[in-house]
A = this chain, B = another copy of it.
Amino acid sequence: MNNKPLLDYINKYVNLTIEEETLLLSKIVNRNYLKNQYIVQQGEICKSANFIISGCTKTFHMDLEGQEHIVMFSIEDWWTSDLGSFITQTPADFNVQCIENTQLIQFTFDNLEALYKEIPKLERLFRKIVERAFVASQKRIIRNFSLTAKERYQIFKNTYPKIEQRVPQYMIASYLGVTKEFLSKIKSQITQNQ
């Protein structure tokens, strides 16, 4: 049970007393997933908000043609979930699947609601988490309509160099919203110009 990364993370936003920490830890579940396992499946209600201790996940939507569209990769010290489904307790639009063996800490919806009542300042913490998720979502929309695929790739590479190393090219293509063939073309264009 390695809960330190979570407590360190929370302490960046709000200060908990020892009693509050103990209460919080009593409401979480530590869980391990194997590579390729699903944490959330599209169509089911997302039952937990998950803080990653180790590993890597992809969050993707599968459209009516059966095509995967990745919206996010998550690694250590990040959250992963279908936050929209979790928040509204309605069927998920996204799948969250492990692309490495992944160890995480889960907050169920009911436990989190109970925690809000007992530790109101967590309301502030989760407001800030949702705010950050919202800002990231908005920035992604802007990038998608105002930049070319090549520009988006370069920003991705600079912003998440660790992730670029860690996940296969065809998943990065899906994240960027292009085919793997076109990403291959972009990469050869970039290496030719330097």
Residues of A near any B CB (own CB < 8 A): 61, 63-64, 67, 69, 71, 83-84, 87-88, 93, 116, 120, 123-124, 126-127, 130-131, 133-135, 137-142, 144-146, 177
Q: Are A127 and B134 in contact, with the CB atoms below 8 A?
A: no
Q: Are B145 and A177 in contact, with the CB atoms below 8 A?
A: yes
Min Cβ gap A177→B in Å is 5
Tell me the complex Cα distance, A177–B61, Å: 20
Tell me the complex Cα distance, A71–B64, Å: 24
Name the contact of A135 in the complex, choosing from B87, B123, B139, B144 (C-beta under 8 A): B87
Min Cβ gap A79→B in Å is 12
Tell me the complex Cα distance, A63–B140, Å: 14
Min Cβ gap A98→B in Å is 21
Copies held by the complex = 2
Q: Are A84 and B139 in contact, with the CB atoms below 8 A?
A: yes
Other A-B contacts than A69-B145, A93-B142, A130-B134, 9 sampled, CB-CB below 8 A, are: A67-B146, A69-B146, A84-B135, A123-B123, A126-B127, A127-B130, A134-B134, A140-B141, A144-B144
| B-side contacts of A144, CB under 8 Å | 141, 144-145
Tell me the complex Cα distance, A66–B63, Å: 32
Name the contact of A133 in the complex, choosing from B63, B134, B142 (C-beta under 8 A): B134
| B-side contacts of A137, CB under 8 Å | 134, 137-138, 141
